[in-house]
Amino acid sequence: MPEKKEKRYKWRRDDYREKTKGLLMVNTGDGKGKTTAAIGVLVRAAGRGLKCCMIQFMKSKHDRYGEHESLEKLGVEIHTMGDGFTWDTKDPSQDIRTSETTWDLCVEKMRSGEYELLVFDELVYVLDYKFLDIKRVLDEIAAVRERQPHLHIIATGRNAPPELVEAADLVTEMKEIKHPFHAGFFAQQGIEF
């Protein structure tokens, strides 16, 4: 009896970059799962050999999260740049400086031409809080996408501004129906971090 061959998709071609339509994706909404969904795409892309990088705007640069441990094993580059996530900032000028520094790194990675997928985790919060100018951000993304039409970019965070939604190719809104926090359960290792 002939050996049954495993079905494989012919996904990785020599002309991958030329035949790929890069997407600007936004994960927004008040529900849990925005970063988690982006990480799922990172895992899939890394599994297919795409060069990936995730830059986190608000999570503390002094902490290690579960996604760091997993994604580094897959060869995904991660930069956590924030001063610690807060809903109620104590020093807006510091948050703006941190956002500017983090955005500068995003621009560097976009312009490098080295990547197929970039995740800008919590960028949407920074835009919503007006720590960065949305026109400047969207103009830079548009210019990079023009030069690198294969590049996929994912931005995450609540309250996506209408201009970002309009510019995006794919927008997903996470909606909270029920959350354990409201029953007195705080963030748990392996689930939230």
Digit-by-digit pLDDT tens for the chain (193 residues) are 666 665 555 555 556 666 789 999 999 999 999 999 999 999 999 998 999 999 999 988 888 888 889 999 999 999 999 887 665 667 889 999 999 999 999 999 999 999 999 999 999 999 999 999 999 999 999 999 999 999 999 999 999 999 999 999 999 999 987 866 667 767 666 666 6
**6 belongs to a structural domain:** no
**70 belongs to a structural domain:** yes
**1 belongs to a structural domain:** no
Domain span including residue 125 = 19-174
**184 belongs to a structural domain:** no
**80 belongs to a structural domain:** yes
Give pLDDT, residue 5.
61
Other Cβ atoms closer than 10 A to 98: 20
**137 belongs to a structural domain:** yes
Q: Quick one: which of 167, 147, 171, 149 has its CA closest to 158?
A: 171
**5 belongs to a structural domain:** no
Amino acid at 148: Q
Give pLDDT, residue 119.
98
Side by side, the strands of the sheet bearing 77-82 are 77-82, 52-60, 117-121, 152-156, 24-28, 170-173
- CATH number, domain with residue 48: 3.40.50.300
Instruction: Say how many domains are in the chain.
Output: 1
Query: Which are the contacts of 82, defined by CB distance < 8 A and separation ≥ 6?
Result: 56, 57, 58, 59, 60, 61, 98, 102, 122
Other Cβ atoms closer than 10 A to 106: 25
Give pLDDT, residue 61.
85
| Tokens encoding 181 | 């926090």
- How long is the chain? 193
User: Roughly what angle, to the nearest 10 degrees, separates helices 134-147 and 92-112?
Assistant: 10
**108 belongs to a structural domain:** yes
Give pLDDT, residue 192.
67
Give pLDDT, residue 89.
67
